[in-house]
Structures are given as C-alpha cells and as structure tokens.
Structure 1
Amino acid sequence: MRFILNVIWLVLCGLWMAIGYVIAGLVCCVLIVTIPFGIASFRIASYALWPFGRTTVERRDAGAGSLIGNVIWIVFAGWWLALGHIFTGIALCCTIIGIPLGIANFKLIPVSLMPLGREIVSTDEAFGRW
C-alpha cells in the first residue's frame, strides 16, 4: 500500500515539491553561510519525494545551533513552506482519494518549519518492529 500511495504522491505533488526544495537547497548552497540550510532542504526534498513509510525523529545530538538555525529558517523560509503544505493538504483532502495525500502534506509541516535537528528514518526504525 505504501508503494501505491508513494507513486500517486509522486505524480500528483511529490515531484513538484521536491523540485522546489532542491531549488531552495541550491540557492542556499550558493550562499556559503547558508549551506546547513541547503543540506536540510535536500533532506526534506528526499522526504517530500517519497514520504509514505518514513517519518522524522529528533536528533539527540542537536544543540543550540539547531535551535538558532530553526528560528532563522522559520523567519525566512519555513512559514512560506508550511503555508504551501497547508493549502495543498486542504486541496487534496477535498477528494476521497486525496485524503491520505493531504494527511502526508500535513505531516510535512513540522519538518518544513524546523528542519535542523531532525532526521528522516523509516517508520519501522522510529517505532520499532512489532
């Protein structure tokens, strides 16, 4: 089921969102000071490309630098990205087939707001195998 949802996601909105995050990552990498934001943007792009079966977890070794970076990210890029995910999620939830995709869009909001200090892992790793 995850594979089918990921393919539908990829066709409807995942590819476009990933391209947007990659462009933002390239812009951030051109400006030397913002390379950590570029790397985080590339990480989000891979997550936005194939979200089902994966989740984000907090990194235990993230410190004050991640907090400061996340505040800067929210001010300059995070809230725009979050608004995009909210509007796309609402639009996708208007159809029965789009509801899981809309929920996946809502799942991307926290990582789009605060990408530093987070790691993307499979759901099996995050919650353990039963």
Structure 2
Amino acid sequence: MRLLLNLVWLVLAGVWMALAYALAALICFVLIITIPFGVAALRIALFALWPFGRTVVRRPDAGLASGIGNVLWLVLCGWWLALGHLVTGIALCLTIIGIPLGLANFKLIPVSLLPLGREIVDVDRAGPGAVSF
C-alpha cells in the first residue's frame, strides 16, 4: 500500500513540492551563510518525494541554535513552502482518491515551517509520538 501511495504522491504532489524545496535550497546556497538551511531543504525535498513509510521525529540533541535557525528559516523559506503544502493539500482533498495525499500534505506543514532539530526516519524506527505517513 505504501508503494502505491508513494507512486501516486510522486506524480500528483511529490515532484512539485520537491522542486519547491530544491528552489529553497538554491536560494539558501546562494546566500552562503544559510548553506545549512539549504542542506536541510534538500533533505526535506527527498522526504517530499517519497513520504509514505517515513516519518519526522524530534532530535533529542536539538537546542537553542535549532530554535534560532528555525526562526530564520521561517522568515526566508518556511512560510511559502508551508503555503505550497496547504494549497496542494486542499487541491488534493477535492477528490476522493486525493484525500489521503492531501492529509499527508497537511502533515508536512510543521516540518516545512520548522525543519531544524528534526530527523527523518523509517516508520519502523520511530518512537512514540511520531507523526507517520
């Protein structure tokens, strides 16, 4: 079932959202000081291509630097990536087949807003409290 969902996701939302994250990474790489944000954007782009079967968990070693970085990310890239997930999720929810994909888009909004201090892992490795797809 995950394979089928990932394939449909890839065609309807995954490629487009991954391109948006790649654009965010490019912007971050050009600004040089935000290169770590670009790396995070590419990591999330891969997650946005194939989300089912993987999840996002908080890293226990994330601290104040991640919090400050998340604020900077939110201002530079996070808000428009979250808006992209919101618009795509609403559009997918207009069809019965797209509802699970739209809900997955809504679950990606928190990580698009605040990606630092989080890790993408397989659902099997995720602990309690993880949001799974």
TM band (smaller chain): over 0.9
What's the counterpart of residue 131 of structure 2?
none
Matches within 5 A, 1:1-130: 1-127=1-127
CA distance in 2, matches of 1:80, 1:49: 18
Shift of residue 27, structure 1, vs aligned partner: 2.2
What secondary structure does 2:55 align onto? Answer: strand
Unaligned runs of 5+ in 2: 129-133
Given that 2:18 and 2:49 are in contact with CA atoms closer than 8 Å, whether structure 1 keeps it comes out as yes
> Which consecutive aligned stretches of 4+ in structure 1 deviate over 6 angstroms post-superposition?
none
CA distance in 1, matches of 2:125, 2:41: 22
Shift of residue 108, structure 1, vs aligned partner: 0.6
Shift of residue 118, structure 1, vs aligned partner: 0.5
**Number of residue equivalences:** 128
Please provide the CA RMSD for this pair. Answer: 1.2
CA distance in 1, matches of 2:114, 2:65: 12
CA distance in 2, matches of 1:85, 1:47: 13
Q: Which TM-score applies when normalising by structure 2?
A: 0.92
Q: Which TM-score applies when normalising by structure 1?
A: 0.94
Shift of residue 30, structure 1, vs aligned partner: 2.4
CA distance in 2, matches of 1:96, 1:122: 27
CA distance in 1, matches of 2:80, 2:23: 15
Given that 2:66 and 2:117 are in contact with CA atoms closer than 8 Å, whether structure 1 keeps it comes out as yes
CA distance in 2, matches of 1:8, 1:80: 24
Unaligned runs of 5+ in 1: none
